[in-house]
Structure 1
Amino acid sequence: MNDLKAFSGHHIDWNLSPEHAVTMYLEWGNNDWHAEYPPVRSKDDVSTYFVVDTWAGWPVVRLVRRNSEHAEELATVALPEQLANSFLNEYGDLKGIFEPTPEIKAWLRKELGHE
């Protein structure tokens, strides 16, 4: 697990969902130039964003840096019990990669000092 304070200087794309990231970086040409996230032009186009990962059971948050060639996991942090339980109440036992809830984003902003 990593301390999020080390990433406080990174520009975080708070509204970038895993679905948008796939559209932008893995399905080139599948999104509109007028969309919030226009198509990627080169491997120099980079996004840094958070996801909630439930594949192992208990939800963790991952900070991901992605370009058109690969995704790099910068940090993995366990959610506090209250946030994890709230997330599990909403999504049940679904396994996957999800966009953080507004409550989780608020916690992440606080952890990064982006309040």
Structure 2
Amino acid sequence: MSNLSQFSDLQIDWNMSPEHAVTMYLEWGNNDWHAEYPPVRSKSDYSTYFVVDTWGDQPVVRLVRRNSEAAIDLIEVPLPPRVANAFLAEYGDLKGLFEPTPEIKKWLKKELYEK
């Protein structure tokens, strides 16, 4: 079991993707008030979400807390082999930051909330 359970009290935005985060926090004004994510109004607006990072040898998940000034990685956790292999089968050797797949979200929720 990972150390993710220490973050179980945080409000996680399960629908936030790296692309949405860039639109909201780095390209102010690039989204409208009627979108799923309205524009950021101040530095106190933040999101907490997961990304899959494939820049290393094996994919890892990072819990990110972002506002308009910074993105802070709260924790980095390697994916279990079965979940990592399924992700790699879908994405191959692409390098980057990705939104977690439904299977990864299911695993994350189990790690966060089941003790």
With normalisation by structure 1, the TM-score equals 0.96
- Structure 1: any 5+ residue segments left out of the alignment? none
State the Cα deviation string for residues 13-57 of structure 1 (Å, max 9, x = none): 000000000000000000011011011000000100000000012
Q: State the partner residue of 1:51.
A: 51
Runs (4 or more) in structure 1 with deviation over 2 Å come to: none
Contact 1:57–1:95 (8 Å) recurs in 2: no
Aligned identity (percent) is 74
**RMSD (CA atoms):** 1.0
Taking the aligned partners of 2:57 and 2:100, their CA distance within structure 1 comes to: 16
Taking the aligned partners of 1:58 and 1:108, their CA distance within structure 2 comes to: 17
Taking the aligned partners of 2:74 and 2:67, their CA distance within structure 1 comes to: 13
- Structure 2: any 5+ residue segments left out of the alignment? none
State the Cα deviation string for residues 42-76 of structure 1 (Å, max 9, x = none): 00001000000000121000000000000000000
| Paired positions, count | 113
Taking the aligned partners of 1:50 and 1:60, their CA distance within structure 2 comes to: 10
Q: Secondary structure at the match of 1:37?
A: coil
Q: State the partner residue of 1:91.
A: 91
Contact 1:13–1:47 (8 Å) recurs in 2: yes
